Amino acid sequence: MTHQAIMLLMEHIQLWMWVHTDIILASKTLSVDETDVKNSHHLENEGLKRCLNELKDHQVSIHTLATDRHPMVNKTMREQYRQINHEFDIWHRAKSLRKKLSAASKKHKDMQQWEKCVVNHFWWCCETCEGDVTQLLERWQSVLRHIVDVHEWRCATKFFKCAHGEQEPKALLEAGGDAHKALQSIVMEKKFQKDMKLATAFCHTGNLEGFHSMLLKYMPQEVHLQPRRNHCKRTSCSLGQ
């Protein structure tokens, strides 16, 4: 069987969920004491390898795995698991985008009313790009035109006009003004655009985050549990999902 899986990485807990059914596929709780890793920064990568090996032992092959953009995990996936399509989780990308927009809006009040729209646009681009990174990038960058009242353009290869119909009037940004430039620096940020290449499969950890919130209800972070007890609690939550 081949699965599309998402992974929620935290310092010491890993949860893997099968995207189409929301079933928890694998789960690990690690601590530095019980592993050979140098420090807690390496735990996520260690958990990744252990989960992949465990699934392999059970003849489960992973087609696509979505993770947060942890550099060490990224390197491991690139070098040791090239057969698996590695994607970045859209939920975390959107969260990071929201933070940047919120910070910029504090300086440029005109941007405030666009914050939510730009984040929604990001989700829409990832969902509708049909696995095509050029489509994704051109859709994403089109927000810079839409926001200054330009809805059709020629200088593109696949996406030439906005997909919306008639819209409620909304205060536009001045083309080339400070707020527009600030948004441009966020939209066109090199790192963000580079990450788009790993965001075309529309994988997100929204449901897994929900499960994690439920988990915290039974395992509050303030309460330290011994590894065995921690494992039992987590497993019982996974079974009862």
What number of chain residues touch Zn ion (CB under 5 A)?
3
> Which is closer to Zn ion, CB of 146 or CB of 234?
146
Do 47 and 40 touch, CB atoms closer than 8 A? no
> Which is closer to Zn ion, CB of 92 or CB of 146?
146
* 97 closest CA partner among 192, 202, 184: 192
**Residue 180 binds to Zn ion (criterion: CB under 5 A):** no
> Which is closer to Zn ion, CB of 153 or CB of 218?
153
Q: Which of 104, 148, 162, 225 binds Zn ion (CB under 5 A)?
A: 162
Cα(227)–Cα(61) distance, integer angstroms? 28
Q: CB of 153: closest distance to Zn ion in angstroms?
A: 10
Q: CB of 144: closest distance to Zn ion in angstroms?
A: 11
Residue span binding Zn ion (CB under 5 A) among the ranges 17-25, 47-55, 140-148, 204-212: 140-148
> Which is closer to Zn ion, CB of 42 or CB of 145?
145
Sheet holding 85-88, edge to edge: 23-29, 13-18, 2-9, 61-67, 85-88
Q: Which residues pair with 28 in a beta bridge?
A: 14
Residue of this chain nearest to Zn ion (CB atom): 162
Q: CB of 96: closest distance to Zn ion in angstroms?
A: 24
Q: CB of 151: closest distance to Zn ion in angstroms?
A: 4
Q: CB of 164: closest distance to Zn ion in angstroms?
A: 6
Cα(241)–Cα(235) distance, integer angstroms? 10
Query: Residue 17: phi, psi to the nearest 5?
Result: -125, 140
Which stretches of 21-94 are assigned E, i.e. beta strand? Answer: 23-29, 61-67, 85-88
For residue 228, give the 3-state DSSP assignment.
helix
Chain residues 141-160 in contact with Zn ion, contact rule CB under 5 A: 146, 151
* Binding region for Zn ion (CB under 5 A): 146, 151, 162
